[in-house]
Amino acid sequence: MINNQNKTNKITTIKLIRWSGLAALLAGTIYAGIQPIHPPDFLPSVTTTAWAIIMPIKLLMCLLFLLGFTGIYARQIEETGRLGLIGYLMLGLSWALQTAFIFTEAFILPVLATSTPKYVESLLGIVNGFPGEMNIGALPAIYGLVGVTYILGGLLFGIATFNARVLPRWTGGLLVIANIVTPAAALLPHAIQRYTAIPVGIAMIGMGLSLFSNPRKSL
């Protein structure tokens, strides 16, 4: 009876890791694919059809990232050690906070765009680098935390994944390189900065494919 129960639990764990791999694959595909077609983060875009379509997709992407990173970490939890845990927690915080921001962009800003455009401009200003006139409290600092945890978390998690040798090492290496390059991209126009997300998306696709096809086999 105990052996059967353990076997059932093992099968369930494998299925969860496999489906989290699919979540990572989808998240990475959306993240990489959406950058060239993303509408500009300025007031005129907020009421467009493109904004109405892409922002909910980005919200789904954030949730998929949270699920995907959880499965990736669970698959290599012993091998990545403390470094992997810190990277995972930082990435989890980054994407959780980012989910809240994107929810606001998707469903709140379009409603306020006509009645309180200055507020919308001020909120978008923390993304596009052109601060608005209104005081929006701690939101710029919180958004800054999103960026810091995204870069440091991705860097640490990438190093841990590369060293763990459980998932394809190139995925961890690509995640490291992408997060090293990202701060330098801050000097570029915002529209070009987006393209630094593509390598991160590709790394997630690779990790997701590995989890989905080999949920319990070391590579």
Using one digit for the tens of pLDDT, what is the confidence trace for 71-93? 999 999 999 999 999 999 999 99
Q: Are 186 and 193 in contact (CB under 8 A)?
A: yes
Show Cβ contacts of residue 18 under 8 Å, excluding neighbours closer than 6 positions: 211, 212, 215
Residue 208 has what pLDDT?
Answer: 96
pLDDT at residue 113 greater than cutoff 50: yes
pLDDT higher than 70, residue 119: yes
The single residue listed with the structure tokens 């319990």 is 216
Query: What per-residue confidence (pLDDT) applies to 84?
Result: 97
User: DSSP label at 100?
Assistant: H
- Whose tokens are 């690509």? That residue is 174
| Separation of alpha carbons 99 and 60, rounded Å | 9
Return the pLDDT at 95.
Answer: 97
Model pLDDT, residue 6: 56
Give the tens place of pLDDT for each residue, 136-179. Answer: 999 999 999 999 999 999 999 999 999 999 999 999 999 999 99
Query: By residue range, what is the domain housing residue 147?
Result: 2-213
Predicted local confidence at residue 159, as pLDDT = 98
Does residue 109 lie within any of the structural domains?
Answer: yes
With bands split at pLDDT 50, 70 and 90, how would you rate the model's confidence at 1? very low
pLDDT at 131 over 90: no
Residue 218 placed within a domain: no
Classify residue 29: in a domain, yes or no: yes
Domain count, the chain: 1
Do 203 and 176 touch, CB atoms closer than 8 A? no
Q: Percent of the chain at pLDDT above 70?
A: 92
> 10 Å Cβ neighbour count for 1?
5
What is the pLDDT of the chain when averaged over all its residues? 91
pTM greater than 0.85:
yes
pLDDT (0 to 100) of residue 9: 54
Count of positions (residues) in the chain: 219
Residue 219 forms part of a structural domain: no
Task: Of 67, 25, 26, 33, give the one whose Cα is nearest residue 171.
Answer: 25
- Does residue 6 sit within a domain? yes
**Per-residue pLDDT averaged across 31-52, rounded?**
96
**pLDDT band for position 194 (50/70/90)?**
confident
Q: What angle do CA 115, 101, 18 make, to 5 degrees?
A: 140
Rounded Cα gap, residues 147 and 97, in angstroms: 10
Cβ atoms of residues 35 and 195 within 8 Å: yes
Residue range 65-71: average pLDDT?
A: 96
